[in-house]
């Protein structure tokens, strides 16, 4: 999912993998804690970004 869309919102995760809102938030929190994602809190609704994937894919 992140390789296709390196910026996601909770609703994207819920719809894509079929989990609850709470489970999606927990997953995003865990991925943020281990450094896979970075929270873009200034966005509304909040988005999480896989910044390293964006950097690697840039020419």
CATH number of the domain where residue 32 is located: 1.10.10
| CB burial readout 31-58, b (16+ within 10 A) else e | beeeeebeeeeeeeeebbbbeebeeeee
Whether residue 1 is contained in a domain is answered as: no
**pLDDT score at 28:** 96
Whether residue 2 is contained in a domain is answered as: no
- Average pLDDT, integer, range 25-37: 96
- Average pLDDT, integer, range 26-38: 95
Confidence of residue 39 (pLDDT cuts 50, 70, 90): very high
The rounded distance, in Å, linking the Cα atoms of 56 and 22 is 30
Whether residue 12 is contained in a domain is answered as: yes
Q: Using the 8-state DSSP alphabet, how is residue 43 labeled?
A: S
**pLDDT score at 43:** 78
**Which pTM was predicted?**
0.80
Whether residue 43 is contained in a domain is answered as: yes
Residue that wins the pLDDT comparison between 33 and 42: 33
Instruction: Quote the number of domains for the chain.
Output: 1
Whether residue 50 is contained in a domain is answered as: yes
The rounded distance, in Å, linking the Cα atoms of 22 and 4 is 23
Q: Print the domain residue range for 48.
A: 7-57
């Amino acid at each position: 999912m992140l390789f296709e869309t390196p910026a996601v919102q909770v609703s994207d995760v819920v719809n894509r993998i079929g989990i609850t809102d709470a489970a999606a938030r927990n997953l995003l929190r865990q991925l943020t804690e281990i450094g896979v994602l970075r929270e873009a809190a200034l966005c509304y609704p909040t988005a999480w970004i896989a910044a390293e994937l964006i950097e690697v894919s840039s020419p």
